[in-house]
Amino acid sequence: MAYDAPIDRKNPTCILFVFDHSSSMDGGFGGQPGRKKADGVADVANRLLYDIGIRCSKAGDDVRDYFHIGVVGYGERVGLAFGGQLAGRELVPMSEVAYHPLRVETREKLVSDGAGGVVATTTNFPVWFDPVAKGETPMVQALELARRIAADFAAKHPDSYPPTVVHVTDGESTDGDPEPAAAALRSVATNDGNVLLFNAHVSGQDVQPLEFPSDEGRLPDDAARLLFRMSSVLPPTIRDAAVKEKYRIGPETRGFVFNGDLTAVTRFMTIGTQIPVGERG
């Protein structure tokens, strides 16, 4: 399994986000009072989608469909989480995602003043996802839905780079053991490799995150070890992206972060989607 298939408009890949929308996501991030987990995860995901759109853009050209994007949310309900004009769609080509946010907000941003200080300016911020925090944590159902979506994509694009699934949660499954569902999801494959499943556990504790571990023995409890086992070993391209961010990466390093704060989750989601793109010929 090489994970080296070129990604272009004829052979796109798929990025599928799976977000915990349970009521506990209404709690705060550790060490960041007043910052709810649901709000922070939504902001990270919105910014990441914007950045992916930029990566798919070439000078003088429109956004290219190197990626098909899907979003699953689970809490009070399990289902597709795009809204607006994209509502009800399992996977959406990146060009359509880029041009159909729910809305564009004006937000304040601090930038350098060129003299060692910072000044406030405003910037446009596209929003595709609003924060949701309601209900229990039906993780098994969500992973089963993700498996079906990934399998449909793999069947239609058998020679493409395999789907990447980024799962963000703050709790334990309330509808059974999620490990078999995660294994079934990872078993979906194209000719280039199996689905990559990355798991980020977000925390309200003010503790140091454990990022990209290689051994479940470092983890503090059964819930953390379960999420570690559910996560894919990093392929070479993602390992390279993690090394550039100064992580110590080995051959058994998995796509997992435990007790992630907002900074750790941002880094994690960015590294997990750093898939090289480009045109052939």
Would you say residue 165 has pLDDT above 50? yes
Q: Given the DSSP bridges, would you call strands 78-80 and 164-169 parallel, antiparallel or unpaired? A: unpaired
Mean pLDDT value across residues 92-110 = 89
Identity at 225, one-letter amino acid code: R
Mean pLDDT value across residues 141-168 = 97
Domains and their CATH numbers in the chain: 13-102+128-272 (3.40.50.410)
39-43, 88-92, 221-225: which is most confident: 88-92
Identity at 42, one-letter amino acid code: A
- What is the band of 132 on the pLDDT scale with cuts at 50, 70, 90? very high
d(CA 55, CA 68): 13
Identity at 149, one-letter amino acid code: I
User: Residue 171's pLDDT is what?
Assistant: 87
Q: What is the 3-state secondary structure (H, E, C) of the chain?
A: CCCCCCCCCCCCEEEEEEEECCHHHHCECCCCCCCEHHHHHHHHHHHHHHHHHHHCECCCCCECCCEEEEEEEECCCEEECCCHHHCCCCCEEHHHHHHCCCEEEEEEEEEECCCCCEEEEEEEEEECCCCCCCCCCCHHHHHHHHHHHHHHHHHHCCCCCCCEEEEEECCCCCCCCCHHHHHHHHHCEECCEECEEEEEEECCCCCCCEECCCCHHHCCCHHHHHHHHHCCECCHHHHHHHHHCCCCCCCCCECEEEEECHHHHHHHHHHHCCCCCCCCC
User: Residue 46's pLDDT is what?
Assistant: 93
d(CA 142, CA 137): 9
User: Residue 150's pLDDT is what?
Assistant: 98
pLDDT per residue over 25-82, tens digit each? 999 886 666 789 999 999 999 999 999 999 898 765 789 999 999 999 999 999 999 9
Would you say residue 279 has pLDDT above 70? no
User: Residue 281's pLDDT is what?
Assistant: 37
d(CA 195, CA 165): 7
pTM over the 0.85 mark: yes
Answer whether 7's CB lies under 8 Å from 277's CB: yes
User: Residue 14's pLDDT is what?
Assistant: 96
Mean pLDDT value across residues 141-167 = 97
Identity at 71, one-letter amino acid code: V
Please identify which residue in the block is written with the tokens 């704060």. 261
Mean pLDDT value across residues 164-171 = 95
Mean pLDDT value across residues 157-179 = 96
Q: List the Cα angle 32/38/41 in 5-degree steps.
A: 80
User: Residue 120's pLDDT is what?
Assistant: 74
